[in-house]
Amino acid sequence: MMTRAVGAGTLLALCLASVQGTLPGSDVLLAKERGVASMADYERLMKLRSLGTEFFREFRNMSSADLHLLEGRLSQQDLVCLADMAQFMSGLTSAKKWALTMIDAWGTIPSGYMYGNRFDMGNYEECLRVDGAVSATHSIKGKYCFLELPFYKWLGLTSEVLEVTNMQTALCFPSSCSASAMETFLKQLLQRLLGVGDPSNLFSVSEETCKVRESEPLDGLTIFTIVLLAAFCTAVVACTLFDYFLCPEQDKIPRLIKAFSARATSRSLFAVVDPRASPNVIHCLNGMRCVSLVWVILGHEYVISLKAPAINMLDNLRWMSQPFTSFILYAPFSVDTFFFISGLLLVSIGLRSLEQTKGRLNVPLMYLHRYLRLTPIVAVALLVYLKMLPLFAGGPVYESTGFFDYATCDSTWYLTLLYVQNYATSSMCLPHTWYLAVDMQLYVLSPVLLIVLYRWGKKGAAGILLVMLLLSACLFATIMTNDYGIMFKNGGQFPAVQKKIYYATHTHAAPWLIGTLFGYFLHLIRGRRVALNRLAVWAGWLLCLAMMFTAIFALFPYAKLLGPSPTVLEGALYYTLARIGWPLALCWVVFACIQGYGGLANSFLSSPLWQPLSKLSYSAYIWHIFIQEVNNRRIRSNTYFSNYDVMLNFWSTFGFTLVMSYVLYAIIEAPLEGLERMMFPNRRSSPAPAKRKSQSEIQIGQEELPQKDGEAQVDQADTERATTKAAKGS
């Protein structure tokens, strides 16, 4: 029995598993005692390099009469498989093109397994395009599958965590053969090549990895999705043509036509407001939101690139201990930025609306506006991710290289539309929409918060501060009592841990509540210039940057895989305090930019170039995962992991994301938003025409700060729309 095999990838996984505490101690000891395999074992392994040729040598004399090759009771499919295999071997003997093409598509033992290369994908398209006519009524088509070699079992180990070291190589059989039939043929071959008595537990072929050319017919929901998108697209094209040819005066466009016209939508979307012409607008929020969006997409690009079948997967673990990696590992702070902005705009605009209406707040209408603004695009995303992704992407590693399993949408889709998926299920449909669930749940509490601040002022703010501290203490206690490790190598990425310390609403309440308190502070100092000397300004910026870089790099000393890990207390303190320190640093950035102490930061964040992207940020957030899924699920060959290659992938992803976001914004989001405005028209208090705010100005990051009584005000409906748009930016 062959009990040892080589592969630094295997040994590396053993180290990773032992660090995470998931590998039994006896297995680790066994691996250390055996070490690297002998050269004889390596030579036997290398016999698999010519797997396809060896398969032909083994079965070259096969005929349809060799029923003994298929063990057990034979089904009709097995008999067809056996006949096709005989034709396959005969075709190879006579050098028929279709048979040579089929064997040519086979993979082999991947070069560089000791460097982490676990895949040899052969030639996916070559296999699926095989169509060999063997008679007037029958032809043999190719079926692509993966042969999986679990080398940790060759070492005598049993821990399932070591499945990440399994080698996979491509096979191409007649489509009539099942995975179990393939295993039967390969068992005899591997028995000879490896010199073992029973190789059954040393390899496997799963039907789940098999692909054939024939595609299943479109189901009803897929057809509905295509028809729905086509209907919206047709309406937008028709209204755009009507707008272009029949409406020379833009002020007289019918509201329904304007809602569906891509021309009118684009005019509003790409309208740029000069910051100097609108001094009462927090323009720096545009840049802050867009930078955070780029940070989110870049972080997700690294995550999915780390899952890709790279030829140098060993470098993934080295990359984890580089200083630059901290910017990626702690990209979730960008999410806290969105919560901070959402809370800030909610209060700074909401209090102004309450002053205008003398404390009256139509809470049901607030909730309705919010739901109607966020939900339609999420509903469309559910359909597109579930039904359109398989039409755009397909490849040998479709199931293993993507982010999520969207099959769960069949049973959990309604939880996403109710915004309770972060609590109600462990199998979220569109898992990246957990943010919308948390933000919606916080928004449900916003009327209470606004009324408390409006009626009790500073006492109410003190109460909110106390609630924020209590919720932070709850997060700290959750980590301590459950003995959670917050770092990747300590299991911080496990779903059970993520659900309690990341997806739960109270874990992100601190940035949101700090944003609301800062919004109240801005409300109190509206119209005033706070004079600070140069020393105070420099101290503010230094403290701000210190808190930001501490949040990002505090755990860098523990980054080495085999190095020390933070204690549970240290991890809990970091995880809790960082979610307070980060939004506090953002408070200074916004304050400095508003008060004229922003300098280069304000010039960058307040650039008018951010405004169009800021308006598309919600769509980009929804659709960027789709682009990344398509790019990675359709991989046909091994990749190479490096920062430069990930950056190349990022910019292509970002570009296609913007294109897709713009198209779906124009045909879905903007028309539905226009219809919603028609259903719930603005209820202004008739300000002077010169003071009226154009609809294009009520956008993400452009909400007016309250100044003084008598100036142009936004009414309650505008407040609800503005805060909704603020949340949609993440």
CA–CA gap between residue 591 and residue 536 (Å, rounded):
13
Task: Report the pLDDT value the prediction gives residue 16, as an integer from 0 to 100.
Answer: 43
User: Residue 299's closest CA among 331, 338, 321, 336?
Assistant: 331
Q: Is the pLDDT of residue 642 over 80?
A: yes
- Decide: 632 and 304 in contact? Cβ < 8 Å: yes
2: pLDDT strictly greater than 70: no
- Measured CA to CA, the distance from residue 346 to residue 339 in angstroms comes to 11
Helices marked H in 150-178 — which ranges?
151-154
d(CA 585, CA 514): 11
Average pLDDT, the chain: 83
Note the pLDDT of residue 684. Answer: 42
Binning pLDDT at 50, 70 and 90, where does residue 11 land? very low
The string of pLDDT tens digits covering residues 643-652 is 999 999 999 9
Residue 231 confidence (pLDDT) above 90: yes
CB 128 within 8 A of CB 322: no
Residue type, 208: E
For the cut 50, the answer to whether the pLDDT of residue 636 exceeds it is yes
Confidence of residue 152 (pLDDT cuts 50, 70, 90): confident
The predicted pLDDT at position 165 comes to: 83
Q: How far is CA 478 from CA 466, 467, 496, in A?
A: 18, 16, 12
- Which one has a higher pLDDT value, 27 or 310? 310
* Whether pLDDT at 30 is above 70: no
Helix (H, G, I), strand (E, B) or coil at 204: strand
Per-residue tokens: 194: 């490896």
Are 416 and 378 within 8 A, CB to CB?
A: yes
* Pairwise CA distance, residues 711 & 331, whole Å: 40
Angle, alpha carbons 47-99-85 (nearest 5°): 80
Q: What is the pLDDT of residues 551-578, one digit of tens each?
A: 999 999 988 877 888 999 999 999 999 9
Instruction: Give the phi and the psi of residue 675 in degrees, each rounded to 5.
Output: -65, -35
pLDDT for res 46:
59
Contact 515, 340 (CB under 8 A): yes
CB 602 within 8 A of CB 610: no
Cα dist. 722→176, 342, 523, 700, 702 in Å? 59, 10, 16, 7, 9
Predicted model pTM? 0.85
440-452 tens-digit pLDDT: 999 999 999 999 9
Share of the chain above pLDDT 90, in %: 50
